[in-house]
Amino acid sequence: MASEELARKLERRLRREEAEESGPQLAPLGAPAPESEPPARAPTASADAELSAQLSRRLDINEGAARPRRCRVFNPYTEFPEFSRRLIKDLESMFKLYDAGRDGFIDLMELKLMMEKLGAPQTHLGLKSMIKEVDEDFDGKLSFREFLLIFHKAAAGELQEDSGLMALAKLSEINVALEGVKGAKNFFEAKVQALSLASKFEAELKAEQDERKREEEERRLRQAAFQELKANFST
């Protein structure tokens, strides 16, 4: 198993360190000389601590004392309840439009193209500053959550008026202040208003379901009419 191999490596490393600290020892008379080992590079304290922590966690997982880490699933409707379903879908369409690589991120070059299309081109440093302001995981690009965070900050008044992110929010043809947080001045007001939007969320969901049912019914009626017309021609 990988954990057993890791344990053996750690044990061999600790033995080498103990041997180095105790110094060379003389072998008894008549005993065969020990085989010389190639000089090993002294490990750093941080590497030892990291290896020991990884080993301990792996053993805890195997013994059931710890659980493997799981990636948290991002749900825009629960993390941004102040935004309507329509607004989130519009922002998602805009995000996918400029995600040229189709990798789920907007990198620096894709952001450069976006700002040029919106009529507010930015310098290289300006683009990096835009990403840095909402880059929560420090990967140098925008995820959909970080993209939504731009419009959240814009509606809550947390962006500077002359910043690149504010220009993006204003020129995106999506009225976030009206459709999103209803003009909330700050994050806490937005959270309070999100509670009153719960019923609106349910109403929008029901309206979408009704719309799908209506389209399915119209499709069924068209198919029935076509079959009837076809039968009339065949007789």
234: in domain: no
Predicted TM-score (pTM) of the model is: 0.49
Total domains, the chain: 1
pLDDT, tens digit, 9 for 90 and up, residues 39-93: 545 445 666 666 676 677 667 666 666 555 545 688 999 999 988 888 899 999 9
User: With b meaning 16 or more CB within 10 Å and e meaning fewer, what string describes 100-129?
Assistant: eeeeebbbeebbbebbeeeeeebeeebbee
How would residue 183 be classed by pLDDT, with cut points 50, 70 and 90?
A: very low
Domain extent at residue 166: 76-177
Cα gap 88→176, rounded to integer Å: 10
In a domain, 8, yes or no: no
Q: pLDDT category, 218, cuts 50, 70, 90?
A: confident
Q: Which pLDDT does position 227 carry in this prediction?
A: 74
Residues 31 and 53: their CA atoms lie apart, in Å, by 39
Tell me: the pLDDT tens digits for 126-164?
Answer: 999 999 999 999 999 999 999 999 999 988 889 999 999
- In a domain, residue 20? The reply is no
Is 63 domain-assigned?
no
